[in-house]
Amino acid sequence: MDQLIATKQNSVGEIIVSSRELHEFLEVETPFRKWFPRMTEYGFVEGVDYTLDIFVHPLNKQETADFLLKLDMAKEIAMLQRTEKGKQARQYFLHLERMWNSPDMVIKRAMDFQQQKIVMLETQIQEDKPYTEFGKVVSMSDGAINIGAFAKLIYDKHGINIGRNKLLSWMRDSGYLIKQEGAEKNLPKQKFIERGWFKVRPTVVKRTSGDIQTGTTLVTGKGQVELTNILLSAFSEKAI
């Protein structure tokens, strides 16, 4: 059977139909903006039977609403028209359904799904590449180090010639560490702790007026990888 109406698959592999293309095929005289809301009154539920799809119309370049229908809804709408076109559409959808559920198609979908998993795995490997290049074991470990040790590490491994004090200044100016004077100066901002870039090791400073509780900023393995990539882009040995 020739393709009467274009179809595609949604994210879970179900056949879906454009409501606008179906409206056009059925040659309904009622404008689409009035017709589709009437069709939904037959008990169809958004998010279950159909989903909203916004696209840029190729003619007027305006954002336009379409609705992607599951096959059961498309069949029922076609039947509701009670026209020859409606009958043709319903027969076409029934044919698609039979083909879709045939053993060959079931096997093909399983193979396609497996191929998608392979592609996703390959993509993940590429995304993980920066970690493997700098030592993914370190990035995932709890091997947090202080700022001075991190400054030495990036110089030894990457030639970024920046000492502890300059590195602290850069981290403050870049918004990673707290700038304000006081006990919290040079401690990491909370959002970067939550990202897993930093840890704070509690420290007690003994003074004659009384002990003060403060903290030492440590760069985690993940933070070392992320910050090194940023520093490599921001600095060169000549510039520092």
Q: What is the DSSP string of 93-140?
A: HHHHHHHHTSHHHHHHHHHHHHHHHHHHHHHHHHHTHHHHHH-HHHHH
Q: Between residues 202 and 77, which one has the greater pLDDT? A: 77
Q: pTM for this one?
A: 0.45
Q: Between residues 3 and 204, which one has the greater pLDDT? A: 3
Q: Between residues 194 and 141, which one has the greater pLDDT? A: 194
CB 163 within 8 A of CB 151: yes
Q: What does the CA dihedral 52, 57, 63, 65 come to, rounded to 10 degrees? A: -20
Q: Where are the domains of the chain?
A: 7-124, 136-234
| Poorest-pLDDT segment among 114-118, 137-141, 182-186, 216-220 | 137-141
| Residue 136's pLDDT band (cuts 50, 70, 90) | very low
pLDDT at 47 over 80: yes
| Residue 2's pLDDT band (cuts 50, 70, 90) | low
| Assigned token pair, 20 | 């606008």
Q: What's the pLDDT score for residue 139?
A: 43
| Residue of 38, 41, 18 lying closest to 30 (CA atoms) | 38
State the Cα–Cα distance between residues 231 and 155, nearest whole angstrom: 11
| Residue 114's pLDDT band (cuts 50, 70, 90) | low
CB 216 within 8 A of CB 204: no
Give me the chain's average pLDDT, please: 81
| Residue 140's pLDDT band (cuts 50, 70, 90) | very low
Q: What is the DSSP letter of 30?
A: S
Location of structure tokens 């030894």: 156
Provide the sign of the torsion angle of the four alpha carbons 71, 72, 73, 79, taken in this order: positive
| Residue 184's pLDDT band (cuts 50, 70, 90) | confident
97: region left, alpha or beta (phi > 0 left; psi from -120 to 50 alpha): alpha
State the Cα–Cα distance between residues 156 and 163, nearest whole angstrom: 12
pLDDT at 238 over 60: no
Q: What's the pLDDT score for residue 80?
A: 92
| Residue 205's pLDDT band (cuts 50, 70, 90) | low
Q: What's the pLDDT score for residue 180?
A: 85
**What string of DSSP letters covers 59-80?**
TT--EEEEEEEEHHHHHHHHHH
| Residue of 82, 90, 102 lying closest to 22 (CA atoms) | 90
